[in-house]
A and B are shown apart, each in its own frame.
Chain A
Amino acid sequence: GAVVSQHPSRVICKSGTSVKIECRSLDFQATTMFWYRQFPKKSLMLMATSNEGSKATYEQGVEKDKFLINHASLTLSTLTVTSAHPEDSSFYICSASRLSIPFSNTQYFGPGTRLTVL
């Protein structure tokens, strides 16, 4: 159990366009989902935390109007990179934590999405 999927796994887009990345918990309900960005040879940087049915909480320095997060259900969160620029190229990873205690303290990660902006 505790499988998280992301779609797409890779995406290439033109500068100025928007890209949507989906994160799904396949076999459990996730109250909270997290979005991370990983630069080459760097650790993961938390971008935002989203709870189902409420607005996402963004980390300092992350533009909420550029990185739109929607957590529409207990199994789906989406990240939309709006007006993408080449510097937005990165590996984006989501994670989800289970609804039920005691599992709510562990994050389960998706396989990641490689975004390349030309």
Chain B
Amino acid sequence: AQSVTQLDSQVPVFEEAPVELRCNYSSSVSVYLFWYVQYPNQGLQLLLKYLSGSTLVESINGFEAEFNKSQTSFHLRKPSVHISDTAEYFCAVSNSGGSNYKLTFGKGTLLTVNP
């Protein structure tokens, strides 16, 4: 069984400040890792993912996450946030093997960027 822990349910920050959203996972097998973002009353949008290769992955809007196998973490970071980054962020994990890539989600972190 897999599990995902997002330690912070809410993270308030000021505009242009750096932010880190924490994600830890538990799994007995190799995994793929994902961050999804959800804006109010909308579905989830894929922000970035780690499948293999470089442990540092980046999104087009300035977010990055680093896969740390020894710490079983996949924290999401952005050096300078904008008001428009206000949203719910979900970390998710799936098995890297098999043909059915079911996702296990964390409970989400609400990022609120204040002016």
* A104 at interface by CB-CB < 8 Å: yes
Which applies to chain B's interface (DSSP): helix, strand, loop or mixed?
loop
B107: which A residues are within 8 A, CB to CB? 42-43
Interface size on B, residues (CB 8 A): 23
A112: which B residues are within 8 A, CB to CB? 41-43
* B11 at interface by CB-CB < 8 Å: no
Closest to A94 in B: B43
Cβ-defined contact, A106 with B100, below 8 A = no
Query: Which residues of B in the span 97-115 have a Cβ within 8 Å of any Cβ on A?
Result: 99-103, 105-108
Query: Which residues of A in the span 88-118 have a Cβ within 8 Å of any Cβ on B?
Result: 93, 95, 97, 102, 104-112, 114
A6: which B residues are within 8 A, CB to CB? 43
Docked pose: A112 CA to B103 CA in angstroms:
17
Docked pose: A114 CA to B40 CA in angstroms:
12
* B29 at interface by CB-CB < 8 Å: no
Q: How far is the CB of A88 from chain B (nearest CB, A)?
A: 18
Cβ-defined contact, A106 with B34, below 8 A = yes
Docked pose: A81 CA to B62 CA in angstroms:
40
Say yes or no: A110-B43 contact (C-beta < 8 A), given A32-B100, A43-B90, A46-B103: yes
B32: which A residues are within 8 A, CB to CB? 105
Residues 32-66 of A, flagged 1 when their CB comes within 8 A of B and 0 if not, give: 10100000001110100100000000000000000
A-B contact list, 15 entries, CB within 8 Å: A43-B90, A43-B105, A43-B107, A46-B102, A46-B103, A93-B43, A95-B44, A95-B103, A105-B51, A105-B96, A106-B34, A106-B101, A107-B101, A109-B45, A111-B42
B interface residues with partner A (beta carbon < 8 Å): 32, 34, 36, 41-46, 49, 51, 90, 94, 96, 99-103, 105-108
A interface residues with partner B (beta carbon < 8 Å): 4, 6, 32, 34, 42-44, 46, 49, 93, 95, 97, 102, 104-112, 114
